[in-house]
Amino acid sequence: MKSLASARFLARHSLLILLTLAYAYYAILLTDGHPTQGKHALVTRPEPGLDLVFNSMAEHLLQGRFDVDPAIVGEEGFEVNGTVVAYWGIPFALLRLPLALIPDGWGLDVTRLSMLAAVCLALLMKLKTLGVVFKKATTHPAGWLYWAIALTLSFSGPQIEFLKTSVYQEVCLWAGALGAAFGYLAIAGLLLEGFSTKRLCSLAAIAGIALLSRVSTGMALYAACLLLLLVRFARDRARLVPPVSILILFGCAAAFVNYERWGNALVFADYHVYIWNLHHPDRLQRMANYGLFNLIRLPLSLLYYLFPVGFFRSDSGGLVLNADYVRLFDFAELPPGSFLLTDTLLLGFFAYAIRSMFLRTPYSSVMRAQVAAIAAGLSVGGLLMLTAISMAFRYRIEFYPLLELGAFLGVYALLQDPRQSTAQRRQWPIVAAAVLSVIGSHCALLLYKLTNLAGSSLPSAGFWDFYGERMHLLLLKLPDWLYGSIAP
């Protein structure tokens, strides 16, 4: 009887148990196993530096200022008319306003705590989205396929590979969380009761917050929202006024922040006044030659994100494609990675969704138009990264809103396949793709933690020598792991 009761408890609370285990695991990875104490705890009191930049921003916002302390932001600042500003969004400063109520609160570093909140929110949204997909396919209970996908969502991709502490990564994780929330509302609107005024307003609000947080993500969500509203315009005009008003309101807020920082409402960051340029004067020339975004970078960027051969040595002894990288890019950040290894399962479902769209099943013409509109908008983030002057491991976050939307639609199409054995016949490929995604994501995280972002450009020694040396240092310092960071 006791075993039966335990089985019923697990069945009833299995999703809650998964969330609890995943959240605890994220905390361990973020803090290198020391969530409550030491210099890598979720909350620390470090020396003044970049980790406190949002604290400085929050403190200055309370004074009606949009600048930051030059001693804290350092070379990541921008000098504008005698003051130093940062380009990061103000929502991350607003999150830290409660620190004003704590004695010496501005000296507390809550970056890891903020990152943990973001990655936990992202997982919750993704599992809710998965629930919507299976709810729509009522004839398919939450069996092996559901749990294969749920475990993959929890322990691979952006939930794992980005858990390296930095303010850069905090911004990206929150962008991913906002993208996941947007995806949940989009899938719910597509598959369930449709796009009510409330849901459209929620989509617009999330897009607006994203625009204030990370402009590339915000532009993608704005584009997806606007294209969706355009598709619905002919038969739903009255319902569109509130969400459009919200988009305009957040757009005005972003313009106001831009004006206060840069003196121009349409400028989100002016890289001509970037303090880092003092040490890298070649950046200004490269920007003059090719701009911040240029389609000429597209082929090399695709290689970086899918087949990172540029980190390996050529027969002549130099790095493959190094001359092209130096000519077109400010930097190509380590570690190398590939969506083919970290998101194998999602890519498989994404491909299945595309196949189903062309076969026009199980989608209606209205649904196909809405899917196309949302997908086209979400592709903006990835396109920006593929043409940007820099390539960074963390920029991969921009591809996930589109990838995950397509993957969830692929799962839906698979569940709706009239051939009832379709999913069962694909059981082993799906499980294998899930396992590869989990392993690949953890390997990517290990390499990320072994990489010093301050020196993340292409190593002259090549990939194997670079990480071989760092793994050697890691093994030498392994006994100290109990007291410090995993990174050498």
Do residues 332 and 304 touch, judged by C-beta distance below 8 A? yes
Per-residue pLDDT in tens (0 to 9) along the chain, 488 residues: 455 455 455 556 788 999 999 999 999 999 988 888 888 899 999 888 899 999 999 999 999 999 999 999 999 999 998 999 999 999 999 999 999 999 999 999 999 999 999 999 999 999 999 999 998 876 655 588 999 999 999 999 999 999 999 999 999 999 999 999 999 999 999 998 789 999 999 999 999 999 999 999 999 999 999 999 999 877 777 778 999 999 999 999 999 999 999 999 999 999 999 999 888 888 899 999 999 999 999 999 999 999 987 777 766 666 777 788 889 998 888 888 899 999 999 999 999 999 887 776 666 778 888 999 999 999 999 999 999 999 999 999 999 999 999 999 999 988 887 665 556 667 889 999 999 999 999 999 999 988 876 444 556 556 667 777 777 677 766 665 545 544 44
Phi-psi region of 37 (alpha: psi -120 to 50; beta: other; left: phi over 0): beta
The number of beta carbons lying within 10 Å of the beta carbon of residue 460 is 12
How many Å is the maximal CA-CA distance in the chain?
75
User: Domain coordinates of the chain in residue numbers?
Assistant: 2-34+112-482
What's the token pair of residue 78?
């921008």
pTM: 0.92
CA 98 to chain centre: 25
Token pair for residue 218? Answer: 């915000």
Q: What is d(CA 210, CA 216) in angstroms, rounded to the nearest whole number?
A: 9
- Rounded Cα gap, residues 374 and 402, in angstroms: 9
**Residue 476 exposed, middle or buried by CB count within 10 Å (0-12, 13-18, 19+):** exposed
